[in-house]
């Protein structure tokens, strides 16, 4: 059977997680919901976030038939994972972005010391630090509030998802001034973070990108960090975790994964937003790496 | 009598307008309300913004005794000025930031061509273009979405309100890299705007800062624009308009302005927010140019 995967975010940054999922499970059906009318979640209380996220989760399960739920939003993953699981049948696996990111950091790190960059709200929740600590890692977190607006303004490298760094470096044209600004902003944040790590006696060898917008900065980040440091994209890590669950047949209705492979690799995708369909359609394709198509407006109440 | 001035914003950017007001009317009483729980207004419908702004206006008039209302928020000024005036007694003058900014541009401009920088929401409303056009000016607007997060991150010059440019330029230390980033971001936006103006055959000599966050960038902006271009701070313009009304005794309870001058120059200020008191207290003092003191949380409903 073809699994139906529901992906939820407070905005459209979670489309980078959807992109990673489609690359790994091209035979699946996807429904993406961006609760854009009620963003930013980061400034709201845990109780309000839990209510919003539970409503969104129910929409994906009850109205879109999702058999897996991916919470492609760091704030909701940090503060509302339990509430979301309680809002849907217990047979539906609910996967956030934080645990898979911490797990990938554990696999990557030899020194056990990890750096995490994220939004202010995610850092204030200390969810990554807790998830890393539970795995025996020491994690130092830093809020980088300018990176999201820089990504939304499009001041990234021409093909932000390209990891072909040689081709990137060999580009004849110099980086346009916009991209240079973004690189400099990352350099400033990263220098502050590594200086703080050194002052604490840490020896970090892993950098976790703890925000769904940051995968679009991957080429810039790879160029700026030391060659022996590994950058972990938590969107990729979450997608990997979901696909492992699907392969293990952990959800009802997935069953025969050989059967799934017979379905042509042509992901079926429906996108929904609670507001700002225009911005979603305009910016979403850059995050998804392909056209998002028509975005349907849904009303989940106030 | 000492007038009571109510100042309203969706966040705390409007503290720059309050700052300009206190400098001009140090004898007045002030009540500032930041409707931070419901920001950003920019992504919401006109109807919703009008409802929020009317509720905030009534709080300032009915519970804080405001005799003048200053709408220190470009989005609410553009979309809800009528609704606010309708929500309070007609004897209360309601002053937005857009009309005073356009009026100052008219006084400053010799060529009649004006540039406006603002947030995405303000530019999409075209409120400045309309207010300028009504005064016989041609205005070209540009959204500069990165400037607000740069100001909130504190990447401004050490004393952002200083207009002592010689002292600023003579500083022995080079601008820290954070300030250099902000200067470069403004340079990129301004270059795009002037190139577009040239392609349209405009000859602009005036730049309107159409966002309450931008006054903190004034030293950087003054250094980046041509010497023959005048930068208009719409916070200053709005404060000037309010003080003219007070001097004219246009509101009830102001009356004897000689009496007002006998009151010692020690503005009385109460600050209220609907959420995020922590951020308000942390960042507010930089916008106000003095401590905001304790911020009281108020609940205006959902």
Residue A174 has which token pair? 């110099």
Three-class SS of A214-278: HHHHHHHHHHHCCCCCEEEEHHHHHHHHHHHHHHCCCCCCCCCHHHHHHCCCCCEEEEEECCCHH
Give yes or no for residue B9 having a pLDDT over 80: yes
Stated pTM of the model: 0.88
Mean pLDDT across B10-34: 93
What does the domain layout of chain A look like in residue ranges? 4-96+236-297, 98-234
Is the domain A98-234 a CATH 3.40.50.1860 member?
Answer: yes
- Residue B259 and residue B291: Cα distance in Å, rounded? 27
Mean pLDDT across B125-154: 96
- Residue A58 and residue A66: Cα distance in Å, rounded? 9
pLDDT grade for B163, boundaries at 50, 70 and 90: very low
Give yes or no for residue B162 having a pLDDT over 90: no
Which of A43, A145, A177 lies nearest to residue B184, judging by beta carbons? A177
Least confident of A30-44, A199-213, B15-29: A30-44
Residues of A in contact with B188 (CB under 8 A): 177-178, 181
The percentage of residues in chain A with a pLDDT greater than 70, rounded to a whole number, is 87
Which of A36, A150, A184 lies nearest to residue B146, judging by beta carbons? A150
Query: pLDDT digits over B41-58, tens only?
Result: 776 778 888 999 999 999
Please identify which of the residues A73, A132, A144, A243 carries the catalytic annotation.
A73
Query: pLDDT digits over B286-300, tens only?
Result: 899 888 888 999 988
Residue A298 phi, psi dihedral angles, 5° rounding: -125, 150
Beta bridge partners of A95: A70
Specify whether the CB–CB gap between A160 and A218 falls below 8 A: yes
A73 catalytic per annotation: yes
The domains spanning B4-96+236-297 and B98-233 adopt the same CATH topology? yes
CATH number, domain B98-233: 3.40.50.1860
- Residue A28 and residue A149: Cα distance in Å, rounded? 31
Least confident of A103-112, B19-28, B260-269: B260-269
Site from B142, B181, B191, B195 to mutate, A interface, most A CB atoms within 10 angstroms:
B181
Sign of CA dihedral B219, B225, B228, B230: negative
Give yes or no for residue B17 having a pLDDT over 90: yes
Give yes or no for residue A124 having a pLDDT over 50: yes
Give yes or no for residue A271 having a pLDDT over 60: yes
pLDDT at A285: 86
Query: pLDDT digits over A252-268, tens only?
Result: 544 444 434 333 344 68
Give yes or no for residue B261 having a pLDDT over 80: no
B73 catalytic per annotation: yes
B150 touching chain A per CB within 8 A: yes
Is the domain B4-96+236-297 a CATH 3.40.50.10860 member?
Answer: no
Give yes or no for residue B21 having a pLDDT over 60: yes
Residue A300 has which token pair? 């989940």
ipTM, two decimals: 0.86
Query: Is the model more confident about B295 or about B267?
Result: B295
């Amino acid at each position: 059977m073809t699994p139906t995967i529901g992906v939820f975010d407070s905005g459209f940054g979670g489309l980078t997680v959807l992109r990673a999922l489609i690359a790994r499970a091209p035979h699946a059906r996807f429904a993406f919901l961006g609760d854009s009318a009620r963003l930013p979640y980061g400034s709201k209380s845990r109780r309000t976030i839990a209510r919003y996220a539970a409503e969104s989760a129910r929409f994906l399960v009850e109205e879109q038939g999702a058999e897996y739920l991916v919470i492609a939003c760091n704030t909701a993953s940090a503060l509302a994972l339990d509430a979301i699981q309680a809002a849907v049948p217990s047979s539906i696996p609910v996967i956030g972005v934080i645990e898979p990111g911490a797990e990938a950091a554990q696999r990557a790190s030899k020194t056990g010391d990890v750096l995490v960059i994220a939004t202010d709200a995610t850092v204030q929740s200390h969810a990554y630090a807790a998830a890393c600590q539970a795995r025996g890692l020491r994690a130092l977190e830093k809020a980088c509030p300018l990176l999201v607006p820089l990504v939304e303004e499009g001041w990234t490298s021409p093909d932000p998802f390209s990891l072909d760094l040689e081709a990137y470096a060999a580009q004849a044209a110099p980086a346009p001034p916009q991209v240079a600004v973004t690189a400099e902003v990352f350099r400033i944040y990263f220098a502050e973070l590594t200086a703080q790590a050194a002052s604490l006696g840490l020896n970090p060898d892993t950098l976790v990108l703890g925000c769904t917008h940051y995968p679009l900065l991957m080429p810039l980040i790879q160029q700026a960090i030391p060659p022996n440091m590994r950058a972990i994209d938590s969107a990729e890590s979450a997608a990997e975790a979901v696909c492992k669950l699907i392969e293990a047949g952990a959800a009802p209705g997935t069953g025969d994964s050989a059967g799934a492979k017979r379905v042509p690799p042509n992901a079926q995708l429906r996108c929904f937003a609670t507001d700002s369909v225009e911005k979603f359609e305009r910016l979403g394709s850059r995050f998804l790496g392909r056209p998002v198509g028509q975005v349907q407006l849904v009303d989940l109440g106030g």
